[in-house]
Amino acid sequence: MRSWIRWAGSAAIFCFTFLFSVAISGGSEDNAGIRGFQSARVDAERKLEQKLRAIPDPLRAESNLRHLTSEPHMVGTDGSRHVAEWLRDQYRSFGFDAEIVTFSAWLPQPREVRLELTAPETKQLASPERAYDVDKDTSDARAVVGFNAFSPSADITGAVVYVNYGMQEDYRELDAHGISVAGKIAIARYGKGYRGIKTKIAEEHNALGLIIYSDPQDDGYVAGDVFPRGPWRPMTGIQRGSVLYTQIYPGDPLTPGVAATPTAKRLAPADAVNVSKIPTMPINAQDAAAILQNLTGPHVPKGWQGGLPFTYHLGPGDAQVHMKLVMDYQQRPVNDVIAKIHGSSDDEWIVMGNHHDAWVFGAADPNSGTTVMLEVARSLGQLVRDGWKPRRTIVMCEWDGEEPGLIGSTEWVEANRAALQAKAMVYINTDVGVIGPNFNASATPSLKELVRDATREVKDPRTGHSVYEAWREHAAHAKEDNSGTGRPESQQEPSGEVALSRLGAGSDFCPFLDHAGIPSMDMGFGGDYGVYHALYDDFYWMKHFGDPTFDYHAAMARIVGTVALRLDEADLVPYDFSAYALEISRAVTDLAARATREGADNTATNAIVYASAQVTASASRTAQALQDLSSTTYSPEKAKTINRALANFEQSFLAPEGLSGRPWYRHTIYAPGIYAGYAAEILPGPTEALDRKDAIAFRREVQSLAAALQRAAATLDTVTRLAQEKAN
């Protein structure tokens, strides 16, 4: 039965794919067509895009990045406010209506961070990052010490156990060796997952605290030459970062689900369930070596040996450490910059975003993306000065407070959710915009083909071919991403097309997709990047290793600008629901098979199999209706009505009650995995209920998913009806 369903669903989706691709290109298979545009408007759109792609300038990008990295600018500091004010003024100079929107969030800053080895010898650890004469920025006294945001204050002493990457499978391995972290301090290396997941799992295993270090095997000298000679992390490099449990909810911990305005009703800090109860601190490889080489106990299992020059042991043995953290928690300002160019249709929005706050200088993360955004804005502003009027309103956002937990974007989405759900057609994110020459992207299935199309239009600076060709070639040899940026490198589809990854968490698309149901994408150029969240992620690093000529910053601006123009100017916004239907069908089939193997409720799983088939059938009918419409003349008003219905498809997947145990997350198809961090879980509700072996939750989550799929099918049926309606 399941084999027949898979065959029938695949056949229906194939037909739908063909019909929908023809429909959105205006009924033509001509290579000169553009998805979503009627043939009569294609030439004008191509000319407009060519004008835009001629504007981004590597020298302007370099100048902007130099300014953005001229001082440390962590959220809640004067440096972050200075950046926000400068960005507001830049957008205004480009012709945007720009303002700073300020929220008030409960945020920590470190007052004391101490670590010492107390046995079998005494040694002061938590050493600062080394300064280098060739890079004056590394001597800047304003740089914040290495710390983990949202760790509690603590003063603890304990024996140490090495837990590898500190993920669930690592603790199962420790259990097999009879080793527990209860009452001890765990030490984990960065990589394989979000650091907040490492803290959550250590807390669940009753650890006293957690130390996280950067192992040279993962992003240091084992990978290649280290800073300042190369792009990788030196032995003194520290990865700062938040351990907020964003997998439960992101944003201000005290105002879940509502905007953190000065008058908002707030939780007591002790009631914030996304804040850790155990202390966590990051250290460099140099200090980690002093601890790890003093551990005894069993030799580590296969795959646990890192790159330090001695044999790793699990511990605990005689090694003990003393950790003291003093964190200053206060209400601190979060300054978002919101800039708009108003279109002819001000009730349709194309939203773009990037965060401007950084742990220190943030040349790659995030300000390579900020620099790209500025060049896109300057290009759009130039088009307006030359006489262009956007069809839709373009909203460009520079978020504050992303690093401690997606705070600026989450609070703005919570404050504007109703307007976004009524007006926003898409959210385009570029966080780490450029760290090398290898393009990669993540997106909701409805937007993946649009990303591919845009990269076909832009020349790759290194190869001279299109970015798409370079991307596809690199994807054939892609390796696992361990940079910490949360955007894995792309793989290839069986067809040879590049496969975009799923959106999980780790950047500002999260509140748009997971909470508000806005179709989203995230794009950037990847590469060798070992200074993530370190002092050394500065202008010197970018100029010498990331993008010395800044040609990739300009290329990224051309890609983002092309995507924005196509979404802004399209007659029918080019969502690709064929890809969505296929992904849902595959996931539902896999879930049903797993549920059968594990003895779950077959009646419940049959409901989602049936509902998934409804989505596929409705999508096929919609494709046919849009194809028929493309051969007729229809009014802008009709197009607007259809576009709104198309945009509502994503919102159909939102469960009013949210996911079990984390109601802030409302999307039933995608959410960050509860124990995966950055990685996306597909069909998260029932999947995680199966993981927990919770039969009651499984039935509830399957019912919620089935209802969402039925809403999605009904939304597509509405599109079909609207497309088939005769003009009055």
What whole-number distance in Å separates Cα of residue 202 and Cα of residue 184?
10
- Nearest partner of 364 among 190, 149, 529, 487, judged by Cα: 529
Measured distance CA(370)–CA(379) in Å, rounded:
14
d(CA 314, CA 128) in angstroms, rounded, equals 26
Using CA atoms, how far apart are residues 13 and 484, in angstroms rounded to an integer?
Answer: 35
Phi/psi of residue 227, nearest 5 degrees: -60, 140
Regarding beta strands 123-124 and 97-119, do their DSSP bridges make them parallel or antiparallel, or are they unpaired?
A: antiparallel
Backbone phi, psi, residue 211, to 5°:
-110, 130
The one-letter code for the residue type at 351 is V
Question: Who's near 421: CB < 8 A, 6+ residues apart?
Answer: 516, 517, 518, 651
Task: Give the closest residue to 602 by CA, choosing from 10, 2, 8.
Answer: 2
- Give the integer Cα–Cα distance in Å for 471 and 159: 47
449 is catalytic: no
Helix (H, G, I), strand (E, B) or coil at 551: helix
Q: How far is 511 from 408, CA to CA, in rounded Å?
A: 10
Give the sign of the dihedral formed by CA 414, CA 573, CA 707, CA 580: negative
Q: How far is 363 from 367, CA to CA, in rounded Å?
A: 5
Indicate which residue of 173, 398, 402, 701 is catalytic.
402
Give yes or no for a cis peptide into 228 (omega within 30° of 0): yes
From residue 633, how far is each of 42, 573, 638, 723, 726 by CA, in Å?
A: 15, 17, 10, 11, 11
Active site residues: 402
